[in-house]
Structure 1
Amino acid sequence: MEAMDIYKHYFSKYKLLFITAISCVFFEAICDLLQPTIMAHIIDEGVKNNQLGIVLKMGLLMLMITGVGACFAATRSVLASRVSQSFGADLRYDVFSKIINFSEVSTDKIESGSLITRMTNDISQMTQFTNGMMRIFFKAPITCLGSIILAMMLSFQLSLVLFATVAIVAAFIIVSMKLSYIRFAKVQLAIDKVNTVIQEYLMGIRLVKAFGRYDHEERKFAYENSDLSHKTVSTQKVIAYFSPLMSLTISIGIALILYLGSFLFGWGDIEVGKVAAFINYMAQISTSLIMITNVFNVFVRTKASSERVNEVLNSEEDFKGIKQTIKDGSWELAFENVTFAYPEGSGLPSIKNLSFRINRGESLVIIGPTGSGKSTLVWLFLRFYDVEKGTIYLNGMDIKTIDCKTLRDNIALAPQKSMLFTGTVLENIAWGNPIATREEIINAARAAQADKFIQSMPAQYESHLGQGGVNLSGGQKQRISIARALVKKAPVLILDDCTSALDAVTEAKVRHGLKTLDKEKTIILITQRIGTAMFADKILVLDDGKKVGLGSHEELLHSCETYQGIFHSQIGRDLKVTNNG
């Protein structure tokens, strides 16, 4: 949808309330417009002719109209608040739901700091605009137009001054809008950068401390903060320059009306009450024009925010396949002539014409130098990205024909970087399977060699973890991450170098525990360790995205130069290690 179509989409939910609020605004404006005309009658018919009855009658009518207008004003304020807050809540929910379903391509395009700004600052701006639109934004043009029409009816000669004044102010508004729009868009981008700097610092706070990079981080924040300040000042300068010019133009117009009105009164072409009413209408017009100026300034900023939010809503979601059930078969995984390059990357393929096959119950280790494409295979299997050439099969089915949720429900992942959430240990492990029993959670923890250290914690499985598991060591976080993957009980388990913080003995126990819960589980391990690879049923060796070896440990020691190099660098040229060793 287009940026401003967002409002049409959401307002359809609150059509009745919206129409009622706008109706209240219209009748409130009518009540305001009637008062100068009534005042003219009081002066010209009551005061001039010394008719107290007319003064009292018209004064009472004026009070009644003011009271009715106040009732309309109160009603539209309540409705405006209700509709705008509901609009903001619905929009935030939909944007968050969209972000949850982001494809990796969308995630790569929009930084997390920018997403936070769009979820908070931009949507708040849109919510305020919605509230203002129903409270005052519609009232200003109605009051302005109505005042012009009623002023013309009082005196056509004085209306010529009014037309000239309105035309000049309208020109100022148009120029102000054009200058403001670009600046407001830059302000929002500057807010993105400030949020990104803060977020990066908070995520890497320990690294900053370890390297003593406080000064660098302060300078980086100072630069972005100063840039935001300068862009905001630049935007405010436009308003600061044009607002006084418009006020001056309106004041000159009122002075000219007073000057010309005195001549017309002397010539008998207009009465005092009508001149007073005309000045009141001119005051209403001036107030409305200033309000319209503010409306356009807010509109320009809101338009920039709407386009940014709309970019999120129109972003690419996870790939949708045909929603068919994966049949419980051999759970065979196969890559056939797969080639892939990251969409936002260098354009060079990370995987090149790769083919291999793994059967149910087998364990496959993927090993190779840094940057050889090991983790990329995992992202392709999980359909975070789609392959450019070739096909990936699961149980003989092209994974492009399987809905992402269905596919991922059958895969458990322990990622390279252990990510834990605020909550208890039990909640973090159960995150992999919310309906898992306590016994199943404990069994998964035991298999992952996490039960022992969990039992030593003060509240054991009810112990509270800070954000990201900051109160745990790297090895402890990895073991909880593995337990979370195991408790999912998916037929395919992927361990993406998630034992790097474990010692050799603990890793061997984890490796043994993987088969204790389900001996038919298909296991894919990504590792840099020969000691881990040598115990797998199959080892896939990658180098620069290409398959340079596939087989058992013994086979690769004799046939794969890359594997031999890794083995010799870790174990030694003179030490012979076999699968039994």
Structure 2
Amino acid sequence: MRLMWRYTKRYKGLLALNFIFVFGFILIELGLPTLLGQLIDHGVAPKNPAEVYHFGLWMVLINLIGLVGLIGLAYTGSKLSTNIIRDMRDDIFEQVTHFSHETYGEFGVSSLITRTTNDAFQVMTFLQMVFRTGFMTPLMFIASGVMIVRTARDLAGVVFLAVPVLLIGVAVIGYFSEPMSTRQQKNLDWVNLTLREMLSGIRVIRAFVREKFFGDHFEDANRAYTKSSISLYTLMALAQPGFSFIFNIVFVIILWLGALQINAGQMEIGALIAFIEYIFHVLFSFMLFASVFMMYPRAAVSAKRIDALLQVKNTVTENPNGITTTTTHGELAFDQVTFAYPGHSESPILRDVSFTAHAGQTVAFVGSTGSGKSTLIQLIPRFFDVNEGTILVDGHPVYDYNLKALRAKIGYIPQKAVLFSGSIRENLQYGDKTASDESLWEALRIAEAADFVRELPEQLDTVLSEGGSNLSGGQKQRLAIARALVRKPEIYIFDDSFSALDYATDARLRQNLAATTSDKLVLIVAQRVGTIMHADTIVVLDEGHVVATGTHKELLKTSPIYAAIAASQLSEEELAQ
């Protein structure tokens, strides 16, 4: 509830207006029965047309006031709830964009999506109910109770005897619905996870003819969600007929006792009609309150899941007052860096890694699978933070930088080329949103992508599908490289970014890069020795340790590990060069 109140109090003006309209609605709901009773007793029964017109006009006036109150209540309730959820989703998105890779792993993408969509929707539905009826029902209940006691004190006891029974029913439903709601939302996470895996891996699933396996897996998740939903909704559905049954018993008893009093001359017909209306408002208000109360456990579960996101302390902390400019550019140093993934501190991926690199150099990293190459370069833009040691960029520890300023120095091209839905131009301008078409075409030329982009019907305005699935792997890699070139960073990081290119395209692209990045620091992780054999320095990694550094020719003589890797890929003539 604290989460919802934290957002609600941002709109104190709308909240106050909501209260005003609540009173307007109560006026019509309680004013009409009172006037109706007066109209019957003083106008209809004695056959007095003047009194009928008098009370009739007042009823019309109150109806108009109540209509304004009802419309205003609907408007303020909807605006409050939608604004609150909009703010909540904005904050979730802002929080998630700053999550470290570790935190993403803790929650999982599917759960993050569920919390942003379905959980937020559950909270919004609850808030709409609160703003439309939650504030109104206690006031209506109290006001109707007062009118009941004033109208027929001896009959009021029948109504109030039913209230404890109703309260017990509401408490029981609230008690059982919270754990049911928790299971339902977790099962929805499972459904989303299964569906996301199936959609993202559909080609592999088809290639291995595993459609039935995934179909069964999805059916298990779907059945679990269906079962938990049926249990919850059945519990909620039982409330309505249960409450209606109690209401009907109360009405029957009141009508019977009221008829006896009218027959004895102790009560007038108009008073009984007004009394029945008041009873209806008491019980109806209670039913609305019960609906709000029964919805609360579901909303509370969703609010807790959202709050858990918003309260996460990122493991990669921002430094808003950190360094934004430096006098040197393109300098990098690792000083005895040790890093282990969270939860695996006893088995570090990198151990005591030290090396230096300077602007104008090309530094390559090679090693067997799992040796820590990609992990090493991901530490530079602080995708993870090291456990021990220091990483220096342009002479300053990476922790001392403003995070945006640090990453602005770096052009990172990951192993898997990531493109976004939209045009090629929009994707390239992720590097620099102000880049001209001339700059974009130059970047495409260097990345050996200009020819195939020119052949597309819309060229730069060609729309890419989600993930760039309408392009080949090599085309996506070249566009990702072009995007980094548009940025013109001080440090280029190529994380096995040439793997989908043929040898000829790879050679031409590297030749173009050499001319363009001659005054920049270029870091390359590659599996193919042919891609990095002309690097100024090659760093050989083995089980997280730096076991050798040097040029290609030097390492062939001094590093058995590098020599073995080179021998497995190069011919004898190439090794002899």
Q: Structure 1 CA distance, aligned partners of 2:307 and 2:118?
A: 14
Residue in structure 2 matched with residue 68 of structure 1 by the alignment: 65
Cα 1:539–1:154 shift into 2, 3 Å: same
Q: Tell me if the contact between 2:27 and 2:62 (Cα under 8 Å) persists in the aligned partners.
A: no
**For 1:452-475, what per-residue CA distance to the aligned partner results, in whole angstroms no more than 9, with x for missing partners?**
322333333333322222222111
Residue in structure 1 matched with residue 348 of structure 2 by the alignment: 349
Residue in structure 2 matched with residue 570 of structure 1 by the alignment: 569
**For 1:515-548, what per-residue CA distance to the aligned partner results, in whole angstroms no more than 9, with x for missing partners?**
2113111011011122223211111111222222
SS in 2 for 1:238: helix
Q: TM-score, normalised by structure 2?
A: 0.93
Question: Please, which moves more after superposition, 531-540 or 124-133?
Answer: 124-133
Cα 1:30–1:424 shift into 2, 3 Å: closer
Q: Tell me if the contact between 1:246 and 1:290 (Cα under 8 Å) persists in the aligned partners.
A: yes
Q: How many residues align?
A: 575
List runs of 5+ in structure 1 lacking aligned partners. none
Q: Structure 2 CA distance, aligned partners of 1:51 and 1:461?
A: 83
Residue in structure 2 matched with residue 388 of structure 1 by the alignment: 387
SS in 2 for 1:577: helix
Q: Tell me if the contact between 1:106 and 1:316 (Cα under 8 Å) persists in the aligned partners.
A: no
| CA drift at 1:267 | 5.7
Q: Structure 1 CA distance, aligned partners of 2:36 and 2:459?
A: 79
Residue identity opposite 1:418 in structure 2? A
| CA drift at 1:91 | 2.8
Q: Tell me if the contact between 1:105 and 1:343 (Cα under 8 Å) persists in the aligned partners.
A: yes
Q: Tell me if the contact between 2:332 and 2:391 (Cα under 8 Å) persists in the aligned partners.
A: yes
Counting only pairs closer than 5 Å after superposition, residues 402-551 of structure 1 correspond to structure 2 as 402-551=401-550
Residue in structure 2 matched with residue 374 of structure 1 by the alignment: 373
Quick one: which of 25, 28, 31 aligns to 1:28? 25
Q: Structure 2 CA distance, aligned partners of 1:350 and 1:288?
A: 62
**For 1:284-312, what per-residue CA distance to the aligned partner results, in whole angstroms no more than 9, with x for missing partners?**
12222221222123222222222222223
In percent, how many aligned pairs have the same letter?
A: 34
| CA drift at 1:499 | 0.6
Residue identity opposite 1:57 in structure 2? H
**For 1:358-407, what per-residue CA distance to the aligned partner results, in whole angstroms no more than 9, with x for missing partners?**
12211111111111111111221111111111111112211101011000
Q: Structure 2 CA distance, aligned partners of 1:43 and 1:427?
A: 73
Q: Structure 2 CA distance, aligned partners of 1:117 and 1:346?
A: 31
| CA drift at 1:80 | 2.5
Q: Tell me if the contact between 2:329 and 2:490 (Cα under 8 Å) persists in the aligned partners.
A: no
Residue identity opposite 1:339 in structure 2? T
Counting only pairs closer than 5 Å after superposition, residues 357-368 of structure 1 correspond to structure 2 as 357-368=356-367
Cα 1:331–1:40 shift into 2, 3 Å: same
Residue identity opposite 1:325 in structure 2? T
Residue in structure 1 matched with residue 283 of structure 2 by the alignment: 286
Residue identity opposite 2:154 in structure 1? Q
Counting only pairs closer than 5 Å after superposition, residues 153-172 of structure 1 correspond to structure 2 as 153-172=150-169
Q: Structure 2 CA distance, aligned partners of 1:74 and 1:240?
A: 28
List runs of 5+ in structure 2 lacking aligned partners. none
Residue in structure 1 matched with residue 113 of structure 2 by the alignment: 116
Residue identity opposite 1:431 in structure 2? Y
Q: Tell me if the contact between 1:103 and 1:316 (Cα under 8 Å) persists in the aligned partners.
A: no
Counting only pairs closer than 5 Å after superposition, residues 75-474 of structure 1 correspond to structure 2 as 75-265=72-262, 269-317=266-314, 319-321=317-319, 322-329=321-328, 331-343=330-342, 348-474=347-473
| CA drift at 1:238 | 0.9
Q: TM-score, normalised by structure 1?
A: 0.93
| CA drift at 1:489 | 0.8
Q: Structure 1 CA distance, aligned partners of 2:330 and 2:217?
A: 50
Residue identity opposite 2:318 in structure 1? K
Residue identity opposite 1:199 in structure 2? R
| CA drift at 1:107 | 1.5
| CA drift at 1:561 | 3.0
Residue in structure 2 matched with residue 17 of structure 1 by the alignment: 14
Residue identity opposite 1:432 in structure 2? G
| CA drift at 1:48 | 4.7
**For 1:216-265, what per-residue CA distance to the aligned partner results, in whole angstroms no more than 9, with x for missing partners?**
22222222122111111010111122332222122222222233334555
Q: Structure 2 CA distance, aligned partners of 1:286 and 1:426?
A: 62
Q: Structure 1 CA distance, aligned partners of 2:436 and 2:46?
A: 92
Q: Structure 1 CA distance, aligned partners of 2:160 and 2:370?
A: 70
Q: Tell me if the contact between 1:108 and 1:344 (Cα under 8 Å) persists in the aligned partners.
A: no
SS in 2 for 1:519: coil
Q: Structure 2 CA distance, aligned partners of 1:236 and 1:408?
A: 49
| CA drift at 1:176 | 0.7
